[in-house]
């Protein structure tokens, strides 16, 4: 099956995708859409930029709303949970795009995150009576506890970046919310989707009790993308000189767009203040929403060449044409490395993943190289250009 019609999608959605010049399903869409259309829950793993959001939105919307919008006031029919404001906002944008003009009275979509005004969210819930809610577990749990959000009409549930939703910092809120949903619902089980770039069996386990017995587990070959589309570089640097190394690297490669991960020991705003030779912006937790929106919008449009971010703030960022990903540390686990590298080499393009680290971090990178089956090329900065050690 090489087109969306053959997958069983309604002509409306096929036409809507055509407006984005999307005519051929990605591999993950080929495998996930039929499962969800048939009413089977799916847990799936695929690299960033492979179309995971449409893989679950399209079939769930078709199942839920093909007969028209659900009764107003009954609570949402679809709840989508995601860990960050940026990802929630992007999902909401895609959902509204797909549902625009779907019926004479299209289903409303609400964004409920801790970054927004609680008062305005309560007013919007009362006024819009959304059929689709996108938000983070903490804010959803708060609104439900206040009696402003009900789940009796809920028919589908999505865990986007499911591994983050059950990580230590969010696990308690996520599981408490799921327990509340289970207690509020009666009737048939939910059709659920859980996805991430690194959704391992261990990550899936806490979610399985809420996804029912009929679950399809779908994985795509992450390493193939990492190996074939992304070139991996390692640049040694003492910790205290990493910012200077970053400056020299950016001057040498002249990236179209570079996403810099600030790492555990660096402050994104301070790093950005040192990058005066390029249009750069920072992205970090606690930013004002307007500043965060401007930073992401400028990076997306190309007005900003370098975006410096923490790992958490970058979760779910969907930015095309990133030529370089640069990390100022080497993570402990393969999943974190995969998440970072997956920001480049997308949609058939090629990219470069650069790790800047000291001796201990280079040893850690060597272990990740072996575990992921990659080839990491050592590089040096010499007289304003990138060289391979031993080159004359």
CATH of the domain at 92: 3.40.50.300
Residue 89 lies in a domain: yes
Residue 285 lies in a domain: yes
Let me know whether 198 and 261 are in one domain: no
Let me know whether 240 and 205 are in one domain: no
d(CA 294, CA 278): 17
Are 103 and 72 in contact by the 8 Å Cβ rule? The answer is no
**Using one digit for the tens of pLDDT, what is the confidence trace for 186-214?**
666 789 999 987 777 777 888 887 887 77
> What pLDDT score was predicted for residue 186?
64
Let me know whether 42 and 187 are in one domain: yes
- Strand ranges for 328-392 from DSSP E: 351-357, 376-382, 385-387
Let me know whether 196 and 242 are in one domain: no
> What pLDDT score was predicted for residue 391?
62
Are 23 and 17 in contact by the 8 Å Cβ rule? The answer is yes
* 215 has pLDDT over 90: no
Residue 192 lies in a domain: yes
> What pLDDT score was predicted for residue 222?
56
* 221 has pLDDT over 60: no
Residue 176 lies in a domain: yes
> What pLDDT score was predicted for residue 364?
94
Let me know whether 227 and 369 are in one domain: yes
**Using one digit for the tens of pLDDT, what is the confidence trace for 246-298?**
999 999 999 999 999 987 667 888 899 999 888 999 988 777 888 888 999 99
Let me know whether 198 and 236 are in one domain: no
Let me know whether 176 and 267 are in one domain: no
Range(s) of the domain holding residue 248: 223-387
Let me know whether 228 and 335 are in one domain: yes
Percent of the chain with pLDDT over 90: 55
Residue 300 lies in a domain: yes
Domain end: 182, 200, 220, which one? 220
d(CA 40, CA 108): 25
**Per the structure, how many domains does the chain have?**
2
> What pLDDT score was predicted for residue 58?
97
> What pLDDT score was predicted for residue 276?
84
Let me know whether 172 and 291 are in one domain: no
Domain end: 220, 242, 271, which one? 220
Let me know whether 204 and 257 are in one domain: no
Residue 392 lies in a domain: no
Let me know whether 163 and 71 are in one domain: yes
* CA distances (Å), origin 218, targets 48, 79, 82, 119: 15, 21, 20, 40
Are 158 and 196 in contact by the 8 Å Cβ rule? The answer is no
Prediction pTM value? 0.69
Domain end: 220, 239, 260, which one? 220
Let me know whether 190 and 311 are in one domain: no
């Amino acid at each position: 099956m090489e087109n969306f019609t053959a997958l069983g999608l309604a002509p409306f959605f096929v036409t809507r995708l055509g407006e984005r010049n999307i005519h051929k399903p990605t591999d993950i869409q080929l495998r996930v859409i039929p499962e969800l259309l048939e009413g089977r829950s799916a847990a799936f793993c695929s690299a960033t930029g492979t179309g995971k959001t449409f893989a679950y939105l399209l079939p769930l919307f078709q199942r839920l709303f093909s007969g028209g919008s659900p009764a107003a006031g009954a609570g949402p029919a679809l709840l989508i949970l995601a860990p960050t404001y940026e990802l929630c906002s992007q999902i909401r944008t895609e959902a509204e795009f797909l549902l625009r003009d779907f019926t004479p009275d299209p289903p409303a979509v609400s964004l409920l995150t801790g970054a927004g005004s609680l008062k305005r969210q309560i007013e919007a819930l009362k006024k819009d009576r959304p059929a689709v809610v996108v938000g983070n577990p903490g804010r959803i749990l708060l609104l439900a506890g206040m009696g402003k959000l009900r789940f009796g009409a809920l028919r589908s549930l999505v865990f986007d970046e499911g591994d983050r939703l059950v990580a230590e910092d969010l696990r308690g809120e996520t599981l408490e919310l799921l327990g509340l949903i289970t207690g509020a619902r009666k009737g048939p089980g939910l059709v659920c989707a859980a996805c991430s770039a690194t959704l391992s069996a261990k990550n899936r386990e806490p979610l399985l009790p809420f996804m029912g017995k009929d679950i399809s587990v779908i994985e795509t070959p992450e390493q193939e993308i990492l190996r074939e589309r992304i070139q991996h570089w390692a640049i040694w640097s003492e910790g205290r000189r990493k910012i200077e190394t970053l400056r020299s690297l950016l001057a040498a490669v002249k990236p179209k767009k570079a996403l810099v991960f600030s790492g555990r020991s660096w402050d994104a705003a301070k790093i950005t203040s040192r990058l005066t030779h390029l249009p750069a912006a920072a992205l970090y937790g606690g930013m004002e929403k307007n500043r965060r929106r401007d930073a992401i919008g400028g990076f997306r449009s190309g007005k900003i060449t370098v975006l410096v971010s923490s790992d958490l703030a970058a979760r779910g960022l969907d930015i095309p044409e990133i030529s370089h990903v640069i990390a100022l540390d080497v993570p402990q686990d393969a999943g974190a490395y995969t998440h970072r590298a997956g920001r480049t080499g997308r949609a058939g393009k090629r990219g470069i993943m650069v790790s800047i680290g000291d001796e201990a971090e280079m040893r850690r990178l060597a272990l990740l190289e072996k575990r992921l089956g990659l080839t990491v090329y050592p590089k040096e900065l010499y007289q304003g250009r990138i060289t391979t050690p031993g080159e004359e």
